[in-house]
Amino acid sequence: MPDRVYLDWNATTPLRPESRAAMTAAFDLVGNPSSVHAEGRQARRVIEEARESIARVLGAAPRNVVFTSGGTEANVLALSPGLRAPAGPVERLLVSAVEHASVLAGGQFDRKELSTIPVTPSGVVDLERLRAMLAGGPPALVSVMAANNETGALQPISQVAEQVRQAGGILHVDAIQAFGKIPFNVSELGVNLATVSAHKIGGPKGVGALMLGAGIEGPAALLRGGGQERGRRAGTENVSGIAGFGAAVKAAMAALDADLARVGSLRDRLEAGLRQTTGVVVFSSDAPRLPNTTLFAAPGMKAETAVIGFDLAGIAVSSGSACSSGKVQPSHVLEAMGASSALAQGAVRLSLGWSTGPEDVDRCLEAWRKLSLSLLKRSGETELERF
C-alpha cells in the first residue's frame, strides 16, 4: 500500500533484500540436502552456511543449532521433560508470567508440572521469588524470555542463569525478540537452550531454530522419521527458508550497532511526543528495554478503537490485547505486571525497525494528536492536555 507507515515490527518484519536474494538462489537448487550426490551436497552447503551464521552470533557450536518451522515449534521442542540437568532429569517447569503463549502452554510438560514465576510491576522477573521456587525441589527447567514482545522489557538473563545453575537446573531463553536487535550470546550469559526466529529480523516466515548448549542431552524429537537435524527434527529441511534466515542474520548483525542508536533515538522521540498527552502511561519505561518498542495506554482509550484509527490514518500498529473467539481479553503481560484491567485493555504497541525514519515517527504523532482528542473526549476525559 502506498503512503503507509509500518510500526508493527515486533509482529513481523519486511523481508530484507539480502534474504530475498538468498532465497531466490536457493529456489533453483535441485537436490535434497540429505542426498550424497553433487546436487544434494550443494543444498546441504546452503543449510550449513546458515547454521554457522546463526551459531556464530549466538556463541554456540553449529552442530547444536536445530532448524524448525518457527519459534513456536522451537519453544515446544525445548520444553521437554526428557532433558537432563546436572542434578538429574528435569521433573518440573518454571516459566515467567510474561512469556509467549507457546511457553505458557508448557510445551511437552504436563500442566501439573508447570509453575509461573511472578514479575515486578516493571515486567521484570522477580529474582527473589525465582530463588525460592528453585530451592528444595527436584531439578527444574526454567524458561525466561530475553525480551518481552509487548513491552520490550529485557530480563536479567545472566542473574537468572546463575540462580538456575546453582540449583542444578537448566535455563531456556526465548530470544526471538532479542536476536538481531541487541547483542545476545548464550555462552556469555550462561544459557542452556535458546530459540530464535527468522521473520523477526527480516527473514522469511516459517523458519526458526533451537540452540542446544554444550552438554545438553535431548530434547526428545517432536517429529520422528528420517535422521535430519542429527535426529532432533525429522523432515526434509526448508532449504530456501533457511538460506533466507542465514542471510537475514548476517545483514542484521552488520547493522546492529548503528540500528541500536538510531532506532533508540527514534523511540525516545516517539515517547516524548506521546507523553505530551496527559495521562499517557508507557509500560516498563523504568526497566531496560529493546530500543525499538513502546507499549502505551491512556485513560479511557480502547485499544481496538485506537488500532483501527491508526490504520485508517495509514499507520500499522498492534494492540496490547489479544482477541479470542471475538472477546477482547486484557494482555496477560500487563495483568502479570499488576496494571488495571481498564488500562490494559487500552494498550497499544508501537515497534520500529531498520527502515523507520523520523518522518514515520512524526506522522504517527500527528495521527495520535487527532486520535487522542476524539477517543478521549468521547470517554469523558475532556480535561486532558493536548499538543
Residue 196 to residue 52: CA distance in whole angstroms: 14
Q: Is 364 a catalytic residue?
A: no
| Cis amide bond preceding 2, omega within 30 | no
Question: Which residue is listed with cell 542465514?
Answer: 246
* 5: enclosing H helix or E strand: strand 5-6
Q: Are 136 and 161 in contact (CB under 8 A)?
A: no
- Cβ-based neighbour number of residue 118 at 10 Å: 16
- Which member of 214, 323, 328, 342 is catalytic? 323
* 211: enclosing H helix or E strand: strand 208-212
Write out the three cell numbers for 203.
527473514
* 147: enclosing H helix or E strand: none
∠365-5-331 over CA atoms, to 5°? Answer: 75
The conformation of residue 220, written as its DSSP 8-state character, comes to: P
- Look at residues 75, 89, 81 and name the one whose alpha carbon lies nearest to residue 143: 75
Residue 119 to residue 191: CA distance in whole angstroms: 20
- Calculate the alpha carbon distances from 199 to 49, 177, 249, 254 in Å: 18, 10, 10, 17
Burial of 217 (0-12, 13-18, 19+ CB in 10 A): exposed
Furthest-apart CA atoms within the chain: distance in Å: 74
- Calculate the alpha carbon distances from 104 to 83, 127, 262 in Å: 18, 18, 33
Write out the three cell numbers for 239.
532449504
Residue 359 to residue 334: CA distance in whole angstroms: 30
Helix spans in 106-155 (H)? 127-134
- Look at residues 145, 143, 384 and name the one whose alpha carbon lies nearest to residue 284: 145
Known catalytic residues?
A: 323
